[in-house]
A and B are shown apart, each in its own frame.
Chain A
Amino acid sequence: MPPEESPSPQNQHCFQRRGFSYDRAIKYFFASNAGLTIVILLLIIVFLLKEGLGFFPGYRRELEIYRIAGLEFVDISRRNLTAHEQLSSVLNRAYFAEINGQCARELKRTREASAVFNSFSDQTSATRDLIVNNQNSGLDPNSEMLAALRKNHAIQKEKALTSLPATPHLTAAEREQLLASIRTRDATATDDPPLVTTLAQQYAAAQQQCAKPLAELRTVIDSFEAAGADLSTLVTEMTDAVTSTKEALQNADLLEQNRKSLLAAAANAKDPTERRKLLADAHASLAEKPDIEGPMRALMRRQPDCSATHTALRHACADILARLPPSLSQSDANRLLRAANKATPLLLDSLGQAPQQITQWRHDKPVPLSDAIRSFLTGKDWVTGGAWQDFYGILPLLIGSLMISFVALCLAIPAGVGAAIYINQFASPTEQSVVKPVIEFIAAIPSVVLGFIGILIFGTVLRDLSQLDALAWVPGFPIEERLNMFTAGCLLALMSIPTIFSLAEDALNNVPSAYAEASDALGASRIQTSFRVIIPAAFSGILAAVLLGLGRVIGETMVVLLVAGNRIKIPDFSAGLGSFFQPSHTLTGIIAQELGEVPLGSVHYRALFVVGILLFGIVLGINVTAHKFVSRTPN
Chain B
Amino acid sequence: MVTDLSDNPAAPMATAIHIRDLCFAYHTKPALHDVTLDIPTRQITAFIGPSGCGKSTLLRCFNRINDRIPGAHLTAGSIHIHGIEINRPDIDLQELRRRVGMVFQKYNPFKKSIYENVVFSPRLGGIRKRAALDELAETALRSAALWDEVKDRLHTSALALSGGQQQRLCIARAIANQPDILLMDEPCAALDPTATLKIEELLHQLKKHYTIVIVTHNMAQATRCADLTAFMYLGKLIESGPTLQIFTTPNNPQTLAYISGSFG
Q: How far is the CB of A1 from chain B (nearest CB, A)?
A: 47
Interface presence of B97 (CB below 8 A)? yes
Interface presence of B76 (CB below 8 A)? no
Q: B95 — which chain A residues lie within 8 A by C-beta? A: 523
Would you list which residues of chain B between 88 and 128 have a CB under 8 Å from chain A?
Answer: 93-98, 101-102, 104, 106, 108-112, 120-121, 123-124
Assess whether B124 is in contact with A521, with CB atoms less than 8 Å apart.
no
Given A514-B104, A517-B65, A517-B68: A522 and B120 interface contact (C-beta under 8 Å): yes
Would you list which residues of chain B between 139 and 163 have a CB under 8 Å from chain A?
Answer: none
Q: How far is the CB of A321 from chain B (nearest CB, A)?
A: 62
Q: Which 5 A-B pairs have the closest CB atoms?
A: A523-B98, A514-B108, A523-B97, A521-B102, A523-B94
- The one of A514, A515, A521 in contact with B97, judged by C-beta atoms closer than 8 angstroms, is A521
Q: A533 — which chain B residues lie within 8 A by C-beta? A: 110
Q: Which residues of A contact B (CB under 8 A)?
A: 512, 514-525, 528, 532-533, 536-537, 634
Interface presence of B63 (CB below 8 A)? yes
Q: How far is the CB of B58 from chain A (nearest CB, A)?
A: 16
- The one of B106, B111, B121 in contact with A522, judged by C-beta atoms closer than 8 angstroms, is B121
Q: How far is the CB of B112 from chain A (nearest CB, A)?
A: 7
> Bound state CA distance, A484 and B217, in angstroms?
69
- The one of B93, B94, B111, B124 in contact with A537, judged by C-beta atoms closer than 8 angstroms, is B111
Given A514-B104, A514-B106: A520 and B65 interface contact (C-beta under 8 Å): yes
Assess whether B110 is in contact with A515, with CB atoms less than 8 Å apart.
yes
Q: A537 — which chain B residues lie within 8 A by C-beta? A: 110-111
Q: How far is the CB of B254 from chain A (nearest CB, A)?
A: 32
Q: What is the number of contacts between chain A and chain B, taking CB atoms within 8 Å?
A: 64
Assess whether B174 is in contact with A522, with CB atoms less than 8 Å apart.
yes
Interface presence of B43 (CB below 8 A)? no
- The one of A512, A516, A525, A536 in contact with B94, judged by C-beta atoms closer than 8 angstroms, is A525
Q: A522 — which chain B residues lie within 8 A by C-beta? A: 97-98, 101, 120-121, 124, 173-174, 177
Interchain Cβ contacts under 8 Å between A and B, 25 examples = A512-B108, A514-B104, A514-B106, A516-B68, A517-B65, A517-B104, A517-B108, A518-B104, A518-B170, A518-B173, A519-B110, A519-B120, A520-B68, A520-B97, A521-B97, A521-B102, A522-B124, A523-B97, A523-B98, A523-B124, A525-B94, A532-B123, A532-B124, A533-B110, A536-B112
Assess whether B120 is in contact with A532, with CB atoms less than 8 Å apart.
yes
Q: A524 — which chain B residues lie within 8 A by C-beta? A: 94, 120-121, 124
Q: How far is the CB of A534 from chain B (nearest CB, A)?
A: 10
> Bound state CA distance, A524 and B63, in angstroms?
13
- The one of A516, A517, A523 in contact with B121, judged by C-beta atoms closer than 8 angstroms, is A523
Given A517-B68, A518-B170: A523 and B108 interface contact (C-beta under 8 Å): no
Residue of A nearest to B111 (CB): A537
Most interface-central of B95, B98, B104, B110 (chain A CB within 10 A): B110
Q: How far is the CB of A347 from chain B (nearest CB, A)?
A: 59
Residue of B nearest to A634 (CB): B111
Would you list which residues of chain B between 69 and 100 have a CB under 8 Å from chain A?
Answer: 93-98
Q: A514 — which chain B residues lie within 8 A by C-beta? A: 104, 106, 108
